[in-house]
Amino acid sequence: MSAMAASADTRRITIGLVFAVLAMLSFVTGGLLANHLVDGGYSPVVVAFYEALFGLTFTLAIRLRALRSDRAPVRSGWGWMLAAGVLFALATGSFYTSLDRLDYSVAAPIVGAVPLASYLFVLIVLRGYERLTPRVVFGAALVVAGVGLIGVAN
Amino acid sequence: MGLGILLAIVATFAWGAGDVLVRRAMFDVPAELVVVVVVGMVAAVLGVVIVSTEGFAAFGGIELAFVGIVAVMGALIWVTGNLFYFHGLKRAGVTLAAPILGAGPLFAIALAVVFAGERPNLYTLIGAFAVVVGVAVILTDRKRVLR
């Protein structure tokens, strides 16, 4: 019985890892396509706008039924979502504009430091959920050194 | 080049902060609604920026190939990217799934070399590797999570 449970666990985790790999490939391919359009002379902000417009259309089409049955969000939820939207707009616009000036192979590793930036904001916004450990400090130092090296080298 | 690096760093912090606000929003709101509101807000903000800086003319002169590519990008970034990642997190947990996403820069460089013909220098490769290892070190530290 326990062997069956372990097998189910392994299968669940394996499927999860496959999903994570597909998500990573989706993000990376999306960035490469953005780089292609920006290199082709399109305005980076216009590219980001149309990408978001299609993203909105697809997410609405796929999740419309689920959205109808969802409970209404509380007022504080709206504040967090709208603020997140402004930040994501700033992020997408800035990243695609950076692709106008940098190779994708230079800009992508810098944006790879997003988890570190998230971690810093978790310590501020979601205080009490995570803490600073020596291992985290070491990892952060590696990320900062990596981004610094890319910046200096380019 | 300096401005390009600065913009990439701005994007990194904005995405980092945005991710945290999304996580906070999901305390009160279902994930599906968060994604729809956030992507709608992104389109609205960028639309206002375009109109105020480039005028309505910037929306015109779009070729069919452009529409096709941005449609694929919209699906990749906002549907398969986020949707698959949420499913990955649900099944494998953040400790296993998040470092995979953190390895993205290495695949980005590989794709840029193969499909865009870019030739990153050695320091860029070493820097990218340091970023990926650093992110993996942070995300796999279970002791950092209090609850």
The per-residue pLDDT string of chain A (154 residues; one tens digit each, 9 = 90 and over) reads: 567 666 777 888 888 888 888 988 999 999 999 999 999 999 999 999 999 999 999 988 887 776 666 666 666 788 989 999 999 999 999 999 999 999 898 898 888 888 888 888 888 877 777 777 888 888 888 888 888 888 777 6
Any A CB within 8 A of B14 CB = yes
Q: Does the model's ipTM exceed the 0.90 cut?
A: no
The pTM of the full predicted model, rounded to 2 decimals, is: 0.86
Contacts of A40 (CB under 8 A, 6+ apart): none
Average pLDDT over residues B138-143: 78
Query: For position B72, what pLDDT does the model report?
Result: 96
Nearest in space to B20 (alpha carbons), one of A21, A127, A27: A127
Query: For position B83, what pLDDT does the model report?
Result: 74
Any A CB within 8 A of B87 CB = yes
Query: For position A48, what pLDDT does the model report?
Result: 96
Point out the residue among B101, B120, B141 whose CB comes nearest to the CB of A106.
Answer: B120
Query: What is the DSSP secondary-structure string of chain B?
Result: -HHHHHHHHHHHHHHHHHHHHHHHHTTTS-HHHHHHHHHHHHHHHHHHHHHHHH-GGGGSS--HHHHHHHHHHHIIIIIIIHHHHHHHHHHH-HHHHHHHHHTHHHHHHHHHHHHS-----HHHHHHHHHHHHHHHHHHT-GGGB--
Confidence of residue B62 (pLDDT cuts 50, 70, 90): confident
What are A59's two structure tokens?
A: 């997410």
